[in-house]
Amino acid sequence: MSTFLEQLPIVINSLNIGFLQTLKLFFVTLLGALPLGLLICFGSMSKIKPVKRLFQLLIWIVRGTPLMIQLLIIYYFPGLVLDNPIWGGAESGRFAASAVAFIINYACYFSEIYRGGIIAIPIGQDEAGLVLGMTKSDIFFKVKLLQMIKRILPPMSNEVLTLVKDTSLARIIALQEIIWAGQAFMKGSQGISGAIWPLFFTAIYYLICNGLLTVLFARLEKKLSYFR
Amino acid sequence: MKTKLTALLLTAVMGFSLMACGSGNASGASDLQAVKDKGTLVVGITDFEPMDYKDESGNWIGFDADMANAFAESLGVKAEFIEIEWDNKALELESGNIDCVWNGMTLTEEVLSAMDCSKPYCNNAQIVIVPADKADQYQTVDSLSDLNFAVEVGSAGEAEAAANNLTYTSVSNQANALMEVAAGTSDGAIIDSLMAAAMVGEGTNYENLTYTVGLNSEEYGVGFRKGSDLVTELNNFFKASYDDGSMAATAEKYGVQAALIAQ
């Protein structure tokens, strides 16, 4: 068996490819879940009762069931029950199914954080806006939105850091992200077998990524601290 | 309002369960034709030397991979290899994401009940892995009773452990089972002999482990969807390539010729 130094570049190369997949899922999820979360948030705060109940039901189901089960259902359900494997077996299909599951799941969590940020803003601001003759959407986008963003930054940073690590759940439908890449060397891959250290190596990737995100969130908070 | 909602929900649930029942029989259409139509045979595999693994340039090789390529060629299509999560192999097949499982798959009762399988083509055994310094004490099946084993969940090793009344813990895969032994959290593991030969002993990452007793021997086969007409197609292909010696030649290339089963 080759030495550690000979194995290192092979392992790093594999982990890099896996981590790229992790990052791809992370960014696609954020891109989809941030706006979808706002939509679900509006739905769950709607004045129309059935709409409100429907969105509350959705949030309950999505937050109340494990993401791992959601991944399995979204990926296998079309082929198993509907006899129509829409995702296909290829890597791209697995990624698309993972992205859909993650976006729906995280949008529901985000929506509740948004809701918390919105209801934290005193009702006096709505009243003041109405008196000034502003429309409801004007009040939301021009008065309340930035205050909401400022308030929800700390809980959002929590969710975003969790998202980085949660992407590893997609390995259940064989999306080859970084944990999958690390584990491959335990079983044997590219001439390296029974190696446990690559799996623990993956932790460094997560740590660096989340370190950068923490710094980014701290900066954002500072930028928004010009008003209270 | 409430009763209406409940009724609606119940109808939806029953509808889904009906569809679930129907799907099993609905796949009666010809798999062979479907594979020919799309031009690819999608083969579900894991990275498993010497059966399916990647060469320097990233192509899948190995005894199973080479045979799968040859089989696909005989059908006039291309083999496409897709890595799957081994626990989900039956799900991958039934949902139509892959056309077959061809990865040194032991023909256990669970496998045979979940898929239609080819005739066995390769022999394998489940063997006991223990730390090398304790190997002398555990050379017979009777001596294993006071050990705590780690086995892969749903594997042939797990079935053997249960059949021999051994104490065991099920872990997610065979590599984890080995790690348990290396870390001392389990006293021993039960894994495939082909895998053990590659992973345990001198010159591997588990130099301190060794294998002792061989439990029941078993056979490898290729799994297809239930009712698939590809099964007979593959059995014929196996027979032809066994008779003309090409199967033996491929086996020799990967060092598994001794385990080959006459077709």
User: Cα(A192)–Cα(B205) distance, rounded to whole angstroms?
Assistant: 8
Q: Shortest CB distance from A188 goes to which of B82, B199, B203? A: B199
B151 and B198 together in one domain: yes
Predicted interface score ipTM higher than 0.90: no
CB of B62 within 8 A of CB of B254? yes
Q: Above 50 in pLDDT, residue B179?
A: yes
DSSP class of A142: I
Nearest by Cα to B131 from B190, B187, B215: B187
Q: Is the peptide bond before B50 cis (omega within 30 degrees of 0)?
A: yes
B113 and B238 together in one domain: yes
The token duo for A109 is: 């969590």
B57 and B170 together in one domain: no
Nearest by Cα to A99 from A71, A66, A79, A68: A71
B130 and B111 together in one domain: no
Q: Which residues of B touch A (CB under 8 A)?
A: 16, 19-20, 23, 26-27, 42, 44, 46-49, 53-54, 80, 82-85, 88, 91-92, 94-98, 173-176, 178-179, 182, 195, 198-200, 203-206
Question: How far away is chain B from the Cα of A42, in angstroms, using its nearest Cα?
Answer: 23
Q: B96 to chain A: which residues are within 8 Å by CB?
A: 79, 83-85
Q: Above 70 in pLDDT, residue B4?
A: no
Q: Shortest CB distance from A1 goes to which of B44, B83, B203? A: B203
B54 and B113 together in one domain: yes
- Domains of chain A with bracketed CATH: 4-223 (1.10.3720.10)
Mean pLDDT of chain B: 86
SS3 A13: helix
Domain of residue B167 covers: 124-218
For B209, which residue in chain A has the nearest alpha carbon? A194
Name the more confident of B261 and B29.
B261
Would B3 be classed as within a structural domain? no
Contact A85 B195 (CB under 8 A): no
What pLDDT score was predicted for residue B204?
76
Would B20 be classed as within a structural domain? no
The predicted-structure confidence for B102-149, as pLDDT tens digits, reads as follows 999 999 888 999 999 999 999 988 999 999 999 999 988 889 998 999
Percentage of the residues of chain B whose pLDDT score is greater than 70:
89
User: Cα(B52)–Cα(A150) distance, rounded to whole angstroms?
Assistant: 52
Q: Above 70 in pLDDT, residue B156?
A: yes
B226 and B118 together in one domain: yes
Contact B47 A188 (CB under 8 A): yes
Contact A81 B88 (CB under 8 A): no
pLDDT grade, residue B21 (50/70/90)?
very low
The predicted-structure confidence for A68-104, as pLDDT tens digits, reads as follows 999 999 999 988 888 888 898 888 999 999 999 999 9
Domain count for chain B, please give it.
Answer: 2
B128 and B212 together in one domain: yes
CATH number, position B60: 3.40.190.10
pTM of the model: 0.79
Would B10 be classed as within a structural domain? no
Q: Shortest CB distance from B95 goes to which of A80, A90, A189? A: A80
Question: How far away is chain B from the Cα of A145, in angstroms, using its nearest Cα?
Answer: 36
B225 and B110 together in one domain: yes
Contacts A–B by Cβ distance under 8 A: 104
The predicted-structure confidence for A139-180, as pLDDT tens digits, reads as follows 999 999 999 999 999 999 999 999 999 999 999 998 999 999
CB of A175 within 8 A of CB of A25? yes
CB of A145 within 8 A of CB of A70? no
For A190, which residue in chain B has the nearest alpha carbon? B54
B145 and B250 together in one domain: no
B142 and B195 together in one domain: yes
Helix axes A67-80, A91-119, angle to 10 degrees: 130
Would B24 be classed as within a structural domain? no
What pLDDT score was predicted for residue A110?
97
